Amino acid sequence: MDPGKCKTNNGKLLINSFKRMNRNQETEVLNQLKTIIDPDLGKDIVTCGFIKELKIDDAGHVSFTVELTTPACPIKEKFKTDCEKVVSSLSWVQTVNVNMSAAPRKSPLEVQSPGLQSVSNLLAVSSCKGGVGKSTLAINLAFSLAQTGAKIGIFDADIYGPSLPTIVQPQNTDLYQQDELIQPLDYHGVKLMSFGFIPKGPGSGAAIMRGPMVTQVINQLLTGTDWGELDYLVIDMPPGTGDIQLTLTQLIPLTAAIIVTTPQDLSFVDVVKGIQMFDKLKVPTVAVIENMSYFICSQCNVKHYPFGQGALAKLIEQYGFKNAFKIPIQTDISKLSDAGTPIVLEKPESTIARSIHTISGAVVREISKIKHGGLKRPQINFSGDQGFVITLPEGKKETLSPIILRQNCRCAVCIEEQTGKPLLDPETIPADIYPTGIRPMGNYAVAITWSDGHSSSIYPYDTLTELVDISCKETP
């Protein structure tokens, strides 16, 4: 026998049996990892697709990456120790090296603006009234998320009363443009933008702006800022649930919203309004924070409820909120905010900072659930023969005439802001009107530009299906 050939054959056999062994070992490791369940997604971490770059060497050294949905995952340390434990329990395993990472950042939508292209999540913090602590909490939540290793930005969308320049005071406040985008300011690695940072000349402040102008300015500032790669962009919304807030909710592709309130009964009604506003555009409200809920007397150590109690419990009951939190009145919060340092940075071990970490962790987990449960949106196309063709998530197709859609535009140009009276004369709409552009707007709405030159029509998907129903009834 040719000794060389024999050697080669043996070598091949050896390699094959190594490969087989490796494959068996791989299966064993994966089977072990399958016992670890992501509590939010309800599936094991292998099925979730979290395990990447699994390597096993001949000496029994195992290494792999666990790629989570977000770097801010509050249970990532637990995942790591669980992985180490289950894999090292295999008899042949010598060492286990687990590398924790997160999926690459990308915008959830076809965001047109280059500034928002690599922003994974846009998180609105909203309140129905001013002075409830919305900005304070938005900013602290943002820094709390940043402390988990996530990349964070804060956008102060409150043009009439910007708080970001007070609560956070970066040393360098010079703004400049690069490649036609404004470079945001930076404080402890968190990117910041606020109308309050923009130098203003006489007669160019917010006070002189009407509603539609305000939303335009906010949108320009948001989309014209170079946010770069961000896991979460926290948006401190203007207080209220009026046209400005509604239009902003339509314009900004929000992932989720948090509502901040105070305990009074009146605030309960306001929160419901807020939830309804976000609901209209199917932006999920992932948490409600009752701020200034109580205070603990420094003399007697007793909890006092100066604004009453029970509103939060009512909300939990009626809206089934799992993520409802209370933050007490605490002088440290206001003192530090006024001094330009959020409490989570200045006193990271304080009870308040820990409560804020709990809230940000809950928000992150809720968003992950929403995103990975699958977002179902209808597809909207236009054909010259059929008009709009709407393909519903379950596959059913509906058609809608362009004239009906154009007539039902609810923008500030077509509808009187205060009274809701139509400003558009339906007779003036050309019979052969057609869309010149269709694009998703936010998670649950579509923006349409028209051949008559009108460019600001935004329709929630629910409105489209309602209009389909109405037009079906009207058509004999």
**What's the closest the beta carbon of residue 381 comes to ligand ADP, in angstroms?**
42
Q: Given the rule CB under 6 A, which of 42-50, 100-108, 125-133, 466-474 is the region that contacts ligand ADP?
A: 125-133
Contact between 125 and ligand ADP by CB under 6 A: the answer reads no
Residue among 143, 94, 155 nearest 119 (CA): 155
The residue count for the chain: 476
Enumerate residues 239-258 that contact ligand ADP by CB under 6 A.
239
Piece in contact with ligand ADP (CB under 6 A), picked from 323-331, 371-379, 435-443, 454-462: 323-331
- Using CB under 6 A, which of the segments 52-60, 101-109, 128-136, 210-218 binds ligand ADP? 128-136
Of the candidates 73, 132, 154, 230, which one interacts with ligand ADP according to CB under 6 A? 132
Residue nearest to ligand ADP (CB): 133
Measured from the CB atom, the residue of 134 and 357 that comes closer to ligand ADP is: 134
Binders of ligand ADP in range 259-298 (CB under 6 A): 291-292
Q: At residue 417, what is the residue type?
A: E
CA dihedral 13, 16, 18, 22 (to 10 degrees): -170
Which residues make Cβ contacts (< 8 Å) with residue 320, sequence separation at least 6? Answer: none
Beta strand segments in 252-396, E: 256-261, 285-291, 295-296, 303-304, 324-327, 379-383, 387-391
Identify the bridge partners of residue 56 per DSSP, sorted by sequence position: 62
Residues from 399 through 458 that contact ligand ADP (CB under 6 A): none
Q: Do residues 443 and 282 make contact, with C-beta atoms less than 8 angstroms apart?
A: yes
Sign of the CA dihedral running 430, 432, 436, 438: positive
Query: How far is residue 451 from each of residues 318, 402, 438, measured CA to CA in Å?
Result: 45, 10, 12
Q: Please state, in angstroms and rounded to a whole number, the distance separating the CA atoms of residues 453 and 77.
A: 54
133 binds ligand ADP (CB under 6 A): yes
Show contacts with ligand ADP in window 147-166 (CB under 6 A). Answer: 163
Residue 330 sits in the site that holds ligand ADP (CB under 6 A): yes
**Strand pairing partners for 457?**
448
Interface residue with ligand ADP among 11, 131, 205, 306 (CB under 6 A) is 131
Q: Which is nearer to ligand ADP, 264 or 463 (CB)?
A: 264
Q: Which is nearest to 288 in space by CA: 386, 362, 214? A: 362
Q: In angstroms, give the least distance from the CB of 135 to ligand ADP.
A: 3
Single out the segment in contact with ligand ADP by CB under 6 A; choices: 55-63, 200-208, 333-341, 373-381.
Answer: 333-341
Q: Looking at beta carbons only, is 130 or 242 nearer to ligand ADP? A: 130
Residue written as token pair 């809206």: 319
Does 329 participate in binding ligand ADP (rule CB under 6 A)? yes
The binding site for ligand ADP (CB under 6 A) comprises 127, 130-136, 163, 239, 291-292, 327, 329-330, 333-334, 337
